[in-house]
């Protein structure tokens, strides 16, 4: 099956996504260790990676939710991975579509789990040296080096590929450390909010969720 489908570059609606998924979508149980995944989307073409382990197994950390669960619950204003629907399991997208949580046209903050915006634009992360393409070095200069970090969309894209079974030891160690460090936001919520008060610090809670931490603390 080829993922070089020109329709991917022209996605503007959920109906566009449904047509591609019905034609070429790949179910989760078809992804196996040893598979080579070809990447072809609006931001990157020609990159490929191999699945070293079965999806969702041999995880070196314990995220709150799977990538598919995060998309279906409401993250990144519904815009993050809509042109990657042939790289990842079709179920991720179908479940998110059924929950009305994808927005191929315009970003929609209201579909986020907490109904608020909680992210910086991609340009911020590039300029700060956290993803490939920038000239400024961040805390981990390796993240701005495309030879070490092929994930031009940042942490969540890395998590999706890691969950699917890709393993890049240097990059994985850095990104797992960043995930662990993000728990500082949970500490701030616990210090300033009553347990379960979702109206207290909703942007911080949405941010926790988008790093796969429990936002309902």
pLDDT of residue 91: 98
C-alpha separations of 204 from 68, 177, 188, 193 in Å:
21, 19, 9, 11
Average pLDDT, the chain: 93
pLDDT of residue 146: 85
Question: Over the stretch 67-86, which tens digit does the pLDDT of each residue have?
Answer: 999 999 999 999 999 999 99
> pTM of the prediction?
0.93
* Position 130 in a domain: yes
In 10 A of CB 179, how many CB atoms?
18
- Residues spanned by the domain of 13: 6-210
Question: Over the stretch 139-167, which tens digit does the pLDDT of each residue have?
Answer: 677 888 888 999 999 999 999 999 999 99
* Position 112 in a domain: yes
pLDDT of residue 142: 80
In 10 A of CB 14, how many CB atoms?
18
* Position 84 in a domain: yes
pLDDT of residue 18: 98
What are the start-end ranges of the E strands in the chain?
36-40, 45-50
Say how many CA atoms lie within 13 Å of 154 toward its Cβ. 21
The answer to whether the beta carbons of residues 165 and 51 sit under 8 Å apart is yes
The answer to whether the beta carbons of residues 111 and 125 sit under 8 Å apart is no
Question: Which helix or strand (DSSP H or E) is residue 99 part of?
Answer: none
* Position 35 in a domain: yes
* Position 1 in a domain: no
Q: DSSP 3-state assignment of 37?
A: strand
pLDDT of residue 137: 64
* Position 19 in a domain: yes
* Position 217 in a domain: no
Q: Which residues of 186-203 are buried (b: 16+ CB within 10 A; e: fewer)?
A: beebeeebeeeeeeebbe
pLDDT of residue 68: 98
For residue 45, list its beta bridge partners.
40
pLDDT of residue 174: 94
* Position 70 in a domain: yes
Instruction: Provide block-wise average pLDDT over 10 residues at a time, the chain (217 residues).
Output: 85 97 97 97 94 98 98 96 97 98 96 89 68 69 86 96 97 96 96 94 97 97
Q: Number of structural domains, the chain?
A: 1
Phi first, then psi, for residue 73 (nearest 5°) are: -90, -20
Using a 10 angstrom Cβ sphere, with 0-12 exposed, 13-18 middle and 19 or more buried, the burial of residue 131 is: buried
The tokens of 121 are what? 């634009």
The answer to whether the beta carbons of residues 113 and 131 sit under 8 Å apart is no
């Amino acid at each position: 099956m080829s993922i070089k489908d020109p329709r991917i570059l022209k996605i503007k609606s959920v109906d566009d996504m449904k047509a591609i998924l019905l034609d070429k979508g790949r179910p989760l149980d078809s992804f196996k260790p040893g598979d080579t995944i070809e990447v072809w989307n609006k931001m990157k073409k020609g990159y490929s990676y191999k699945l070293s382990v079965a999806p969702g197994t041999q995880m070196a950390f314990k995220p709150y939710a799977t990538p598919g669960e995060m998309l279906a619950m409401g993250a990144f204003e519904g815009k993050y991975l809509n042109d990657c629907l042939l790289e990842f399991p079709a179920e991720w997208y179908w479940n998110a579509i059924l929950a009305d949580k994808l927005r191929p046209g315009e970003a929609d903050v209201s579909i986020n789990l907490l109904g608020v915006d909680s992210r910086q634009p991609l340009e911020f992360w590039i300029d700060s040296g956290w993803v490939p393409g920038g000239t400024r070095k961040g805390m981990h200069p390796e993240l701005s080096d495309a030879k070490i970090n092929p994930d031009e969309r940042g942490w969540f894209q890395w998590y999706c590929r890691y969950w699917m079974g890709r393993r890049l030891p240097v990059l994985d160690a850095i990104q797992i450390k960043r995930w662990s460090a993000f728990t500082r936001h949970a500490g701030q919520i616990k210090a300033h909010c009553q347990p379960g008060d979702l109206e207290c610090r909703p942007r911080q809670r949405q941010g926790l969720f988008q790093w796969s931490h429990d936002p309902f603390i």
